Structures are given as structure tokens and as C-alpha cells.
Structure 1
């Protein structure tokens, strides 16, 4: 039986995070958007929060009997907690999900696939009084949503692997202590050729390229990473060489497992953005329209607001279901893609209506509604576009049905 009841600890964490967003982040988020980043002092101030509550996962030991959850190192209930927190981050400033110090998007894969020695070493590098980050390097020029088509190459040379290629749009790529980098020993091998490496920031042959200037999500750092004969020790192959023996698809599985955890988070952060825009437009309607009067236009506004509230609630429940399934060890690939597909669509619909109803006021540079309108679009793109999510959902709906060349249905 599905149970979305939040524990007292979850409620406390949600309320604490909302207070931080309301009191500390919201007052700074518009300036951070304009200046493409928060001040360094703010990141240091976030350290206690980041260490106590990281959406990226950690190296904690898995409790016996706990459901598998790469994001939290196996702690049951943490996926639901993550989406509850993710909505508050989206409401406050979605950039916070990435700029918060810690393992970030690199954490889940390391927690799920890393050797004990790798987890101990690389999670430890992110601890301490100073802010530290990690990154996740999958996307390439011309290879975004199609993770199977990566072209960054790697070859073994003695006790090292040599990597050549370019990654793009990598969050925290320039300041990361280490980055999980996906490469292939041979594109012709498909998924079986994929390898994942932990590349430290000072590794010879690794350099940071350009930093991107973006439409929205501007307070986050988005970097290009370049690998030219980059030599990485064999010990930095994620999970060890045995994980890739006999054509195993460990590298590709790492990417897919990450998506099953991250896509509900992307969906719920878009829900948080939608909630913030909804609150803005409701307050604007309250201040500027006497909606209690029997005027057809006013009734249309109320009907539209009610419709948007229903969609926000539906999107939230899709994300919660995907997280609940992860916490209970149930495969959630389809549900994760449904959450990722629907949440950003609702976010774009709500922010668009907010700007439309608020008119010129909603389009002013430096207004929250205008920022939300720009921020939400990327959620429809990264972690797989909505077209990719439609393909994933369809494939999982019909994965046991095959069509013969004559059109006969075969099970």
C-alpha cells in the first residue's frame, strides 16, 4: 500500500529548509541571478545545512534491511525526503539544489557504484569547514539526452586510463574537487563500452573550458570540461575493473540509475517553481481584481487558478510516488520519467500564466515572476527532454510486447 505520510523528522526538515529559503535565500536570489552566482561568504554559511542535509547523497553505510536508494546510500525514506526538500528548493531558488556545497549530482552514482575505498576517499574530500563541490560529467556537444551516444574515448595504458573528449553544461564543473566522467572504450560496443572515472581537478590533461551564460538558472556554474590525453589511475575507475568484466554494462547502468533518482527531483523542483509563481499570481489577482464580483472575466481567472492548483497537486503526487517506489526497492524508471515529464510542463504553464496575467509587471527584469519564468525552462531539458521521457514511458509500458515483421503481437 502506498503511504505518503511524512514522519515528524521529514516535516521538521521541510519546515527548516523552507525557513532558510524564505529568510536567507529569497532576499538574495534576484541579485544572485543578475550576478550569476551567490557570494562566497554565502556558500560558507550554507555548510552546516549542506553537511546535515545533502540531496546529492553521501557515503553513509546502508542499514540492514533498508531499501536500495543510491541517493542516500540506502537509507529508507530518504528519496521521499529528498523530493519534499526539492520542492522547497524550487520554491526558494532552484539554483540552490546545485550550488549547495557537497557531492551534488556526483553523489548518487558514487554511493551506488563506488568501491568502499572510493566512497571513503572522495566523500571525505568534500567534508570540512570550507565549501567543496563535486560534479557529474555525462553530457557532450551533440550528445545530451541520448546517454548511449557518448563519444569521449578512453583507453588503458598500463596502470592508467587515458581520456580524450569534451563534456559540456556540467554543473559545478569548474570548482569541483572531482568529477564523475563517462567515456567509452569503443563506440561500436554501445552500452558495454561505457566506463565511468573519478577525475580529480588537478589531473594532468584535464582542464576547464568556457563557463556558460544562460537564460535562467543563472546562479549556477555551468562549465565545459576538456580532456586531452588525460591520465587517470586504474583505481579511479568507478566500481573497479571487475564491475566491467565480460561486457557488463556497468557504466551505462550507472547513468540510468542516476536518472531514476534524479528525475523525480527535477520534476519536484519544477513543482516548487510552479508553487512560487502560483503564490505570486494569486496575490496579484487578490490585490488588483475584486474576484468576488460576478464578472465573467473574473470567473475565468478563478477557474484558471483552480485548474493550475489541481495540476500542481497532481505533479507533486507523481514525484512522491516515484520517490516512494525508490524507497521501497521497486523499479521506478517509468514513474521517474512521468514525474520529470509532467512537473516541468506544469511549471512552464503556471509561470507563463503568471506573467500573462500580471502583464508588464510580470516581465520586469528583477521581478520574481520574470526570474521564475526563465528558470523553469531548463527543467524541461536537462536529465532528458520531455520527448525522451515520452519514449521512456512508452518503452516501459510496452517492454514485454514485441511486434514481428508481419505485425503479429508476440509476448
Structure 2
């Protein structure tokens, strides 16, 4: 059974992550929001500290971890739970800066999730971004057009990728491509492409609504040759498994995105509580919301919404640590946390009036940062589709 209390081991990690957020992320939050595409040099020191934590079994960043195998050792709070609670704390500081952290990219999670031991070893210490979305392929990952054709000991990749988080700064990019477009989702595989690969061209960097500290790139692949050993998972096209191999990545990364959303949401709630208290509004947990001021009642509703997102995120991480299938729960967490972050941060801006809307506080920034949490790693609508299909026992062809 899942224990909702933070263990002493995790409490130490949470404290370390909170200190990093206080010392490095929150103080530089506004600076790099205003200086988009400028590399945050302060992160070099913090990244080294996180590398040390990871090596010692901690890890408060966003790098990937392997899903545990089912064990008879009892309940485990392992790397996935550590990563989730650490990510919450770091995004309480600043989500954009966490995404800009060296060696903490979503591509790292992909390599850790589905890569073999050789791939994990070869790319240890590397910063890996992940490239899924294409100009003509948004939420439907199964419609990917980028192709990978086997040629001797290499695959030759051709296509375009957009909205690649940390694409310019990363050492390598995990690129999703199809081996045979006539075979549908089963032919989609992921490849680790080094940034200096000939034919792998950076087209441009995007200007964004939020998470501006993190660079977002557009790439073009023109006859880019990638060693066959850089294919993550099996090279075989297995129609009965769909593209389960590459989708395993999402089982690990969606709870991480949920954790990021939870961190942003908590930051906004804490600041809103502070501002409401200064305005003389008391939030009383012993009285029904309808008997309190409208602002206090709204805050209580938002806090309950936040708690549900937080608990769903812990559940998805806990299941991964304990070798339990968590695809459904990962989508639960991602859908709930993404929507809650968007709704709550905007409501906080509204409740706090001019202080929330201008740059006097970080509330307006958090509302902008929160929106991407409801979009990347699978939009809100896609998460609802996944959840509905699993609950109803429908295939993607039966329920679109």
C-alpha cells in the first residue's frame, strides 16, 4: 500500500532540492524570463551539485530513471518517487530553469527508460533532449513522418522536428522516426542523435509564452546517418505491440511533467495565501467555504484541486518504483496536474489583482509557465483519450 507520508530519506532530498530552488532558481527566475535564449550560467554550479546527488542515490532534477521490476521486497520508494518530489521542489523555484539544467532533459528519461545498458553507459553524463513533434504531426505521435532507413551499420534519418526542449544546448537528441510508414505505430522507433551529426541542422529557436529560460528548437534532418546501436529498444517491427517500446518513455516522463505542474501550482498558492493574508483575509479550515469571504472560499477550492494533482502524481511514481503498470495513472497525473496548474495559476492572478497581473510578483510568470504543462508530453485532450480508451477497453481505432 502506498504511504503518503514523505520518508526520512525523501525528506532529506526534498530539503536539498528546496535549498537549491531558494539559492539558484527563484532568485534568477525573472532574470532569464526576460532574457530569453540566454544561457543561465548559474546553472553550471547547480548541475554539478545535482550530478553529485544522483551519483549518491539522490537526484533532485529531471534526468531519467529506469522503471523498477516487480519485487518481493515490500513497498519501495525509489528513484521515481525521489525524482517526482525533487522535481516538485525545483519547479517551485522555476520550471524553465529546471528544463534548462544541463543533463536533466526529457531525452535522458527516454534513454533511461528504454535504452539498454550499453546505451545508458555511453550517454551517461550527456544532456539529451527529446524530439517528437513535427510541423504536420502534433498530438498524434503515431502519425510521425520522419523516416529512418537502414543502410549497413547505420540508419539514415530524414524529416523535421519542432518544439524540441533544450534542443540547442543538449549534447544529443532522442528523435522519434518511423522505419516504415505503411506499418503504422508499430514501426515508430526512437534514436539517439548526437548534435554534431552531419545533416542534423538547427533551423531556429522559438519565442514562447512561458518557460523562457529553456530554449526550444526546430531541427531538420537531411540524410543524417545514425549508428544502428543508437536505436532505443528493439529494431523489430512488432504489430501486436504497437509502439509500446517508445511509449514506455511516457510512463516515466508524464509523472515528471505532472510533478513540474504541481511545483508551479504550489508556488502560486503560497504567494496568493501570503498576499491574501496581507490584505486581511483569513482562510479558516474549520469553517465551510460558503461562510467565508469569496477569496478565502476560492483559495480552499484551489488548494483541494492542487492536493488531488499532488496525490495522483505520487501514485504514478510509486507504481513505477514498485514494478506496477502505471500508464493509466501516468495519464491521470499528467491530465489532472496540467489542467490544475493552468486553472489555479490564472485564478491566483485574478485574486491578487494588479499585484498578480504585473511583474511585481512572479504570479503572472507562473501562469505563463503553467500552460506548457498542459500541452507537452501529451496534451490534455490526448490524456483524456488515453484514459477513456483504457477504462472502456477500446483501441485507438475504436475511440478517436
TM-score normalised by the chain length of structure 2: 0.88
Aligned to 1:256: 247
Aligned to 2:62: 55
Distance in 1 (alpha carbons) for counterparts of 2:282 and 2:112: 52
Q: Deviations over 1:218-252 (max 9, x none)?
A: 1101001110111112222224xxx2235367892
Aligned to 2:287: none
Gap change, CA 1:393 and 1:27, over 3 Å in 2: same
Aligned to 1:99: 100
Distance in 2 (alpha carbons) for counterparts of 1:83 and 1:403: 33
Q: Deviations over 1:130-166 (max 9, x none)?
A: xxx2111111113222111100012122222111100
- Pairing of 1:6-405 with structure 2 (within 5 A): 6-36=6-36, 39-51=39-51, 52=53, 53=59, 54-57=61-64, 65=71, 77-124=78-125, 126=126, 133-239=127-233, 243-245=234-236, 247=238, 252-291=243-282, 299-365=293-359, 367-399=361-393
Distance in 1 (alpha carbons) for counterparts of 2:313 and 2:196: 38
* 1:33–1:218 contact (8 Å) kept in structure 2: yes
* 2:187–2:237 contact (8 Å) kept in structure 1: no
Unaligned runs of 5+ in 2: 54-58, 285-289
Aligned to 1:179, the other structure's residue is in SS state strand
Unaligned runs of 5+ in 1: 68-74, 127-132, 405-411
Name the larger-Rg structure.
Answer: 1
Shift of 1:40: 4.6
Distance in 1 (alpha carbons) for counterparts of 2:164 and 2:152: 29
TM-score normalised by the chain length of structure 1: 0.86
* 1:103–1:123 contact (8 Å) kept in structure 2: no
CA RMSD of aligned residues (A): 2.9
* 1:105–1:135 contact (8 Å) kept in structure 2: yes
